[in-house]
Amino acid sequence: MFLVYGQSGSGKTTALLQSLLRYLREHEGTAIYELKGDVKSLRASLELIARLHPDDHAIVYVGDAFIYGDALREDALALPRGKFTLVTSARSNEWRQHIERRVGDFTTSFEFQRFVRKDYPALIERLLRYVPSPKFLKMNPSERTQKLAASQEQLLIALKETTASEKFTKVITDEYEKLPDSDTKALFLIVGLATIARTGISKSAAREAYNRLRKGLSFEGALRQLEGIVSANIMGRLVARHELYVRHIVENVASFSAVVDAAVEILRTYTKYALPIVKTVDRPDGLLFKFILNHNFIGDLARRRNEVEEGLRTFESFEIEFQLDGHFWLQYGQYLAMFGELEPALRALEKSIAAYPENIFAVHALADLQLRVAYNRTAYDATTVALIGDAVETLEGLHASQNLEMDFYPIVTLANSHISALIKHAQQKPALSAAQRYFRLIEAMRRTDMQIDRARERLAHYITHGTWEKTQSSQNGRPKHRKRRRHR
């Protein structure tokens, strides 16, 4: 597999497609396929291509690696090596934190970076040659350089700002605020959230969500008002112009309550499906469901707007409808924990495991939270001992299983949170013994990355010097949200 990774707006997808087209021109007759994100089975598609080209090597472009998730490794390795070159792309953080662990052993990766100062002369020359922008043309060389420097090294922003007389953010803000009515803005936010999720939304789901929010304008009328801003992608799903545009509106311009309204009504379109949702709907709709509920996405927006209670509405609206969906309770619990509501978070995570006991992510999250609660307790009493004991037993069991699909390391959670809890409660001898054991377990691991290396360093420092380096997570430094939670 060949994978290009980089930040949003860096131009990596455009460059990758240009390279594929050039390769096709230079190697006529090469079998090159593109798989859309809505294919029912990646493996079945590859098997079909293999049958069509029994004696040839095929190149298969699978677009965004994020769309295929955990199936990418298993499906790719199901076929004989040497039959395909899979070509795909990913965000930098997705590659480093998730995808590399799964496919790194058979992948050649390339980092597509944002442009830097040494790229300015060549980029300015091409902008002058190919992009019609009278104002940019009239600038002197130093002004052009300053213009590029203001673009955050993102190619999309640079192109927008050289062809407009105002800053990128102001142009996008004005475009949203000049939409004719609240109905049109509501449809934009529905489609916009699906754009940030990189899945788009089916027209039928968008219509269903919109009709619950609209005050007067028909769905078709609102869609006409968004011409040039919203369109259908190659899968027929509605998307907004670009994620960077939408993210600015969602993070800074639209009211947070309007964003939550859009999120709630998108989620409401899933209430007609059997649970668990992600096993009932197709891949793009499953990814959209998971994204809208993602505690980090909602929590980061809520923190940015200082509206934690309003973000909580995303979850509180579906406590009955999604009560048997383990993913819903997992994200609900993690959102509560994110803002220091640890006891309610424990109850939510227990419901997640009750709904879906096989979900190792929920099992890990509950154990992690038990250690945080134990750390925060004032006394090292029977309750604290039980919390720590249950968490350690769970995490050591997860570590022993060594599941390659995990996006987390139970041993890192033990190394950080268990030791912190013991030291905080003045249990120095058990803490040193546990640290020595965890250090040996980490040393025996075949895998390594920044998390593991950092845990190894902290343990080694503690074992050698007897001092424990505190971190925000070990001190549970997340601000506790002070407003009283609404009660149903």
**SS3 sequence, the chain?**
CEEEEECCCCCHHHHHHHHHHHHHHHCCCCEEEECCCCCCCHHHHHHHHHHHCCCCCEEEEEEEHHHHCCHHHHHHCCCCCCCEEEEEEEEHHHHHHHHHHHHHHHCEEEECCCCCHHHHHHHHHHHHHHCCCHHHHHCCHHHHHHHHHCCCCCHHHHHHHHCCCCCHHHHHHHHHHCCCCHHHHHHHHHHHHHHHCCCCECHHHHHHHHHCCCCCCCHHHHHHHCECCEEECCCCCEEECCHHHHHHHHHHHCCHHHHHHHHHHHHHCCCCCCCCHHHCCCHHHHHHHHHHHCHHHHHHHHHHHCCHHHHHHHHHCCCCCCCCCHHHHHHHHHHHHHCCCHHHHHHHHHHHHHHCCCCHHHHHHHHHHHHHHHHHCCCCCHHHHHHHHHHHHHHHHHHHHCCCCCCCCHHHHHHHHHHHHHHHCCCHHHHHHHHHHHHHHHHCCCCCCHHHHHHHHHHHHHHHHCCCCCCCCCCCCCCCCCCCCCCC
- Segments making up each domain of the chain, as ranges: 2-111, 117-165, 166-195+203-269, 271-358, 363-465
Q: Report pLDDT for 217.
A: 93
Top CATH class of 2-111 equals alpha beta
- Return the CATH fold of 271-358: 1.25.40
pLDDT at 21: 94
In the prediction, which pLDDT does 477 show? 40
Q: What is the mean pLDDT of each run of 10 residues along the chain (488 residues)?
A: 84 89 91 83 88 90 82 82 89 82 87 78 81 76 76 61 63 85 95 93 96 94 91 89 86 95 97 90 91 95 94 95 91 94 92 87 92 93 94 90 67 93 94 94 79 89 89 45 40
The per-residue pLDDT for 380 is: 94
pTM value is 0.74
